[in-house]
C-alpha cells in the first residue's frame, strides 16, 4: 500500500512540475530575456527589405526583439537572426562585429551606430539599417515605432553617428562575422519559456525604463 501511495505521489509531483514548465512566464516590462528568432529565409538583401516591411510601424518597446514590438537593436537582431545570421543582441555589442565601412561606402543592409553628439564619446546607444540614398530604418524610442528616417530631414542622426558595419558582402556570398573585441555572453531562450510583448498589450508609459 505504501509503495502504491509513494508511486502516486511521484506521479502527482511530476504532473505539477511538467504542467508548470509547460507555461511560459507572463510578460513583465521590461522583459530582458533574449528570444532567439526563428530562421525563415536566406541572407539576402531582398529578404532584409521584406522583413523590414513586415515590421514597419510596429511599436517600440524597450528590450523587445519581436515579433510584435522591437527596440533598436532588437530589430536588427531579429532581421539578421531570421536569415540565420547570429549577431549580438545589444547595439554596443553589434558595433564590435562585422566589417567596418565608411559612411560614403554604405550599402543596403549595413548597420549604422549612433551615440551622443559629443565627438569624443564612443558609447553606442542606437542602431539603424541603411537603405540607400540617405535613408535608414530603425526602431525609434522618440516616435515609439519602427520607421524610416532620412539624414537630411533629421540631421541630428548625422551628428550622432559613430561608425558603420557590414555583415553581408555586396555579392551576398560572404559574411563578415569577425569581432574587434570580445563579446559578452548572453543567455538565449525561446517563447516556450518567456512571453514577449504582444499586440493588444498596453504600451509602457516610458519608452526607456
Active site members: 72, 126, 138
Instruction: Report d(CA 8, CA 3) in Å as an integer.
Output: 9
Q: What is the DSSP string of the chain?
A: -HHHHHHHHHHHHHHHHHHHHHSPBPP-SS--PEEPPPP-S-S-HHHHHHHHHHHTTPBB-TT-BSSS-B-HHHHHHHHHHHTT----SSHHHHTTBSEEE-GGG--TT-EEEE--S-TT-----EEEEEEETTEEEEEETTTTEEEEEETTTSTHHHHHEEEEEESB-TTSS-B---BSSPPPP--EE-TTTB----TTSPPPSSS--
Amino acid at each position: 500500500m505504501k509503495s502504491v501511495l509513494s508511486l502516486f505521489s511521484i506521479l502527482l509531483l511530476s504532473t505539477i512540475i511538467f504542467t508548470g514548465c509547460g507555461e511560459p512566464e507572463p510578460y513583465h516590462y521590461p522583459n530582458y530575456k533574449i528570444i532567439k528568432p526563428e530562421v525563415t529565409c536566406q541572407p539576402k538583401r531582398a529578404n532584409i527589405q521584406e522583413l523590414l516591411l513586415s515590421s514597419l510601424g510596429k511599436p517600440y518597446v524597450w528590450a523587445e526583439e519581436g515579433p510584435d514590438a522591437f527596440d533598436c537593436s532588437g530589430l536588427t537582431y531579429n532581421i539578421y537572426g531570421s536569415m540565420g545570421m547570429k549577431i549580438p543582441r545589444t547595439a554596443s555589442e553589434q558595433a564590435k562585429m562585422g566589417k567596418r565601412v565608411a559612411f560614403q561606402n554604405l550599402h543596403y543592409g549595413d548597420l549604422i551606430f549612433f551615440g551622443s553628439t559629443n565627438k569624443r564619446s564612443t558609447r553606442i546607444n542606437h542602431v539603424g539599417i541603411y537603405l540607400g540614398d540617405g535613408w535608414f530604418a530603425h526602431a525609434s524610442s522618440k516616435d515609439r515605432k519602427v520607421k524610416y528616417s532620412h539624414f537630411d530631414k533629421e540631421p541630428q542622426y548625422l551628428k550622432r553617428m559613430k561608425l558603420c558595419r557590414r555583415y553581408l558582402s555586396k555579392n551576398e556570398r560572404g559574411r563578415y562575422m569577425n569581432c574587434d573585441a570580445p563579446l559578452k555572453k548572453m543567455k538565449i531562450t525561446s517563447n516556450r519559456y518567456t512571453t514577449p510583448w504582444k499586440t493588444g498589450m498596453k504600451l509602457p508609459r516610458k519608452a526607456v525604463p
